[in-house]
Amino acid sequence: MNKKQAKENIDKLRKDLEYYADKYYNEDSPEISDYEYDMMLKKLKELENQFPEFITRDSLTQKVGGQVNSKFEEVEHEVPLQSLQDIFSFEELYEFDERVKKQQEDEELKYVVETKIDGLSVAIEYKNGVLVRAATRGNGLIGEDVTENIKTIKTVPQKLNKNVDIIVRGEVFISKQGFETLNKTRQEQGDVLFANARNAAAGSLRQLDSKITASRPLDIYIFNVQRLTNNMFNSHYEQLMFLEELGFNVNPVKIPCNNIEEAVNAIKKIGEDREKLSFNIDGAVVKVDSLSFREKLGTTYKFPKWAIAYKYPPEKKETILKDIICQVGRTGAITPMAILEPVQVDGSTISKTTLHNEDFIKDKDIRIGDTVVIQKQGDVIPEVVDVIKNKRTGSEKVFKMPKTCPVCGAPAIREEGEAVTRCIGIECKAQALRSIIHFASKEGMEIDGLGASIIEQLMEKGLVNNISDIYNLTLEDIASLKKNGKKFAQNLIDSIENSKKRDLFKLINALGIRHVGIKSAKSLAKAYKNIENLANASYESLISNNDVGEIVATSIYNFFRQEQTVDLLEKLKVAGVNMESLEKDTGNKFEGMTFVLTGSLENYSRNEASEIIEKLGGKTSSSVSKKTTYVIAGEEAGSKLKKAQELGVKIITEKEFSDMIN
d(CA 548, CA 515): 10
Q: Is 15 a catalytic residue?
A: no
Which residues, in sequence order, are CB contacts of 491 under 8 Å at separation 6+?
A: 448, 449
User: Given 7, 101, 116, 162, which residue is catalytic?
Assistant: 116
Instruction: Return the C-alpha torsion angle 151, 152, 158, 164, nearest 10.
Output: -40
Please name every residue paired with 344 in a beta bridge, in sequence order, or none if there are none.
349
Question: Would you say 113 and 255 are in contact if contact means Cβ atoms under 8 Å apart?
Answer: yes
Q: Which long-range contacts (CB under 8 A, 24 or more apart) does 192-196 make?
A: 195/29, 195/30, 195/348, 195/380, 196/280, 196/346, 196/347, 196/348, 196/378, 196/380
d(CA 444, CA 467): 12
Query: What angle is formed at CA 567 by the lines to CA 563 and CA 569, rounded to 5 degrees?
Result: 120
CA distances from 18 to 53, 66, 67, 171, 352 (A): 20, 10, 11, 23, 28
Which residues, in sequence order, are CB contacts of 327 under 8 Å at separation 6+?
A: 334, 335, 337
Of 371, 374, 400, which is closest to residue 387 (Cα–Cα)? 371
282, containing H or E segment? strand 281-288
Q: Which long-range contacts (CB under 8 A, 24 or more apart) does 544-553 make?
A: 546/619, 547/519, 547/520, 547/523, 547/619, 548/520, 548/523, 548/524, 551/415, 551/416, 551/515, 552/515, 552/516, 552/520
Of 504, 540, 550, which is closest to residue 524 (Cα–Cα)? 504
Give 322-346 as a DSSP string.
EEEEEEE-TTSEEEEEEEEEEEEET
Which residues, in sequence order, are CB contacts of 154 under 8 Å at separation 6+?
A: 219
The H-assigned helical ranges of 461-586 are: 475-479, 486-499, 504-510, 518-528, 531-536, 539-543, 550-559, 563-575
First to last CA, the chain: 52
Active site amino acids: 116
